[in-house]
């Protein structure tokens, strides 16, 4: 079969995505890469000719899920008479490539996060049973250059990857090993992609990177080059017609520079929401984690951000039970949470990851202690989240309407503070920003009454 024949035959594609937003973005881009080959998404793996499992290596549990899913796929592949091709992508693929193929021989292809632009040639090789089944080279620049410029997006909110990789080497974390060194995309490339998103009706762009505020993209062709910071990039994207909301994730306290903070005050399109992982409130633990800042420095950043953007919603990530964490250290984390006040936060029990320095440290914390600390922290965070949501009652908020609600006649969307909002309104509001008066709140969402729709920013 030649390549033209291949393109004409429709084939079913199913991608299962685990992990962070970078993986969600990567899965979308894999769809873009595979579309010219005739692959179209199907509802479930059982109907697919190609199944891609896009994996996460961050905690042990995430990795275990991959192997159990592959066991199920193996059975489906056998039922399909071997027609199904199974590919494993993402961070487990990068970290455990060889072992994956050994442990689960039903896997046809293994490709790391910087290799998915090579999917078409890998599929061709697999169908002829020649060549390597493993692609885990790091060439982030080559990948970005090779990706199709056109995106096919669904809905008014989209991710846009601007930076990848990490050079920070927090002692608990696998990301520097699975995603490679830090690299920023060029500003020109990002703007082309942002414009194409706007042309498809996207109104909210979330800029992504493992360390998104370490962004320093080359901008030779644009005023202010040669190297742009994230603040400059956000201000520029805000000028693209149709884009009226910008977010970025995930940022690091060490890279929270004054210009980015200022942009929160001077650029209305920058949504009043900041996800700034802190991990711990204990300076001793922050040092052992190699985070490169103290709790006091975190509070200083938050104070500056709140000065330029009062009312901004704060989000963070926490790890409990890092090696050597005492009751006092944990109490310092609780104190940091009480002092800051978070709109939402993600908290995890420390998970020992092979190959990371913390996995070898003395003072690993027993599981039951981790459990108790996680419960205490999550109870506090839940209270703060519930209180933050309740504060919105009586306010009129701009809601980006993203889809139909569960009840007939209902739509749902997202507040500037990232809260899910449900309200009665016509389906033609989907894709628009609606003014909604908030009348109810719970831990996870808000309800309200529709007032009026708003025009897109020119
Ligand atoms: N780049 C981001 C975080 C990426 S990983 C940052 O610097 O903060 C997402 C979150 O997973 C981290 O913020 C951390 O809270 C959690 N995490 C990472 N490694 C972990 C581990 N070994 N055990 C438990 N949680 C971990
Ligand atoms: Fe992991 Fe730290 Fe890099 Fe975040 S900054 S990705 S936690 S090593
Ligand atoms: Fe997981 Fe890789 Fe993201 S390990 S959190 S999918 S960068």
Largest Cα–Cα separation, the chain: 67
Nearest 5°: phi and psi at 112?
A: -75, 170
Q: From start to end of 215-254, where are the E strands? A: 217-218, 227-228, 245-249
What is the Å distance from ligand 3's center to 175 Cα? Answer: 7
**CA dist list (Å): 275 to 185, 205, 249:** 21, 15, 6
Residue keyed to tokens 């209305």 = 268
Rounded to the nearest 5°, which phi and psi values hold at 180? 80, -170
Closest to 312 measured CA to CA, from 177, 416, 179, 446: 416
Atom of ligand 1 at shortest distance to CA of 166? 1
Q: Which of 15, 63, 91, 92 has most ligand 3 atoms within 8 Å of its beta carbon, as the pocket-test mutant?
A: 91
Neighbouring residues of 154: CB distance < 8 A, sequence distance ≥ 6: none
Which has the closest alpha carbon to 184: 143, 208, 216?
216
Q: Please report the pLDDT score of residue 290 as a whole number.
A: 98
Task: Provide the phi-psi class of 341: left if phi over 0, else alpha when psi is between -120 and 50, else beta.
Answer: left
Where does residue 334 rank: exposed (0-12), middle (13-18), buried (19+ CB within 10 A)?
Answer: middle
394: left (phi over 0), alpha (psi -120 to 50) or beta: left
pTM confidence score: 0.93
pLDDT at residue 1, rounded to an integer: 41
Ligand nearest to the CA of 53: 3
Nearest ligand, CA of residue 166?
2
User: CA–CA separation, 257 vs 255, rounded Å?
Assistant: 6
Predicted pLDDT of residue 451: 95
Give, as one character, the DSSP assignment of residue 41.
Answer: E
- The answer to whether residues 314 and 167 touch, using CB atoms and an 8 Å cutoff, is no
Query: Given this model, what pLDDT does residue 2 score?
Result: 44
Query: Comparing C-alpha atoms, which of 272, 264, 6, 246 is closest to residue 120?
Result: 6
Domains of the chain (ranges; CATH) run 3-139 (3.40.50.12160), 149-267 (3.30.750.210), 272-391 (3.30.750.200), 396-457 (2.40.50.140)
Residue 114 Cβ contacting ligand 1 at under 6 Å: no
Q: Based on the number of CB atoms within 10 Å of its own CB, is 55 exposed (0-12), middle (13-18) or buried (19 or more)?
A: buried
Alpha-carbon span 322 to 329, nearest angstrom: 10
- Does the beta carbon of 171 lie inside 6 Å of ligand 1? no
d(CA 413, CA 420): 6
Nearest CA-CA partner of 294 in 307, 279, 316, 315: 279
Closest Cα to residue 136, out of 90, 167, 174?
90
Residue 246: CB partners within 8 Å, gap ≥ 6?
204, 205, 206, 207, 234, 237, 238, 267, 269, 270, 271
Structure tokens at 446: 């808000």
Residue whose C-alpha is closest to residue 442's, from 424, 419, 426: 419
Residues 6+ apart with CB under 8 A from 103: 67
Q: Taking CB atoms and a 6 Å cutoff, what residues make up the pocket around ligand 2?
A: 166, 168-170, 173, 175-176, 210-211, 252
Question: Average pLDDT by consecutive 10-residue portion of the chain (458 residues)?
Answer: 53 95 93 92 93 96 89 93 92 92 92 90 77 75 78 89 95 95 93 94 96 90 79 96 96 97 97 98 98 98 98 98 98 98 98 96 97 98 98 97 93 97 95 96 97 76
Q: Is the CB of 166 under 6 A from ligand 3?
A: no
350 in contact with ligand 1, CB cutoff 6 A:
yes
Distance of CA 58 from the midpoint of ligand 3 (Å): 6
Report the nearest-CA residue for atom 7 of ligand 1: 252
């Amino acid at each position: 079969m030649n390549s033209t024949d291949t393109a004409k035959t429709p084939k079913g594609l199913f991608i299962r995505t685990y992990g962070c937003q970078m993986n969600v973005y990567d899965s979308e881009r894999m769809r873009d890469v595979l579309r010219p080959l005739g692959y179209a998404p199907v509802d479930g793996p059982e109907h697919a000719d190609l199944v891609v499992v896009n994996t996460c290596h961050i905690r042990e549990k995430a990795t275990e899920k991959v192997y159990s899913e592959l066991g199920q796929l193996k059975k489906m592949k056998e039922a399909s008479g071997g027609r199904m091709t199974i590919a494993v992508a993402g961070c487990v693929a990068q970290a455990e490539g060889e072992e994956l193929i050994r442990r689960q021989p039903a896997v046809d292809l293994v490709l790391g996060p910087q290799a998915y632009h090579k999917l078409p040639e890998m599929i061709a090789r697999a169908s002829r049973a020649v060549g390597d089944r493993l692609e885990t080279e790091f060439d982030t620049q080559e990948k970005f250059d090779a990706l199709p410029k056109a995106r096919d997006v669904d809905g008014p909110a989209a991710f846009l990857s601007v930076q990848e990789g990490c050079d920070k080497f927090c002692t608990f974390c696998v990301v520097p090993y699975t995603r490679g060194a830090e690299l920023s995309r060029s500003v020109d490339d990002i703007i082309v992609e942002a414009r194409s998103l706007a042309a498809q009706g996207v109104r909210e762009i979330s800029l992504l990177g493992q360390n998104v505020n370490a962004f320093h993209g080359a901008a030779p062709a644009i005023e202010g080059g040669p190297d742009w910071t994230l603040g400059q990039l956000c201000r520029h994207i805000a000028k693209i017609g149709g884009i009226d909301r910008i977010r970025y994730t995930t940022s690091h306290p060490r890279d929270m520079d004054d210009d980015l903070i200022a942009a929160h005050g001077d650029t209305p399109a920058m949504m009043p929401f900041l996800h700034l992982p802190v991990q711990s409130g204990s300076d001793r633990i922050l040092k052992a984690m190699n985070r490169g800042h103290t709790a006091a420095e975190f509070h200083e950043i938050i104070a500056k951000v709140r000065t330029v953007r009062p009312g901004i919603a704060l989000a963070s990530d926490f790890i409990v039970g890092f090696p050597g964490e005492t009751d006092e250290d944990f109490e310092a984390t609780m104190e940091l949470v009480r002092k800051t006040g978070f709109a939402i936060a993600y908290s995890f029990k420390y998970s020992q990851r092979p190959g990371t320095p913390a996995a070898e440290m003395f003072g690993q914390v027993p599981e039951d202690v981790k459990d108790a600390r996680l419960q205490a922290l999550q109870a506090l965070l839940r209270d703060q989240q519930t209180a933050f949501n309740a504060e919105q009652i009586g306010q009129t908020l701009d809601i980006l309407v993203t889809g139909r609600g569960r009840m007939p006649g209902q739509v749902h969307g997202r507040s500037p503070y990232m809260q899910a909002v449900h309200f009665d309104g016509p389906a033609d509001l989907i894709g628009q920003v609606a003014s909604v008066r908030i009348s109810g709140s719970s831990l996870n969402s808000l309800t309200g009454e529709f007032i009026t729709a708003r025009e897109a920013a020119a």
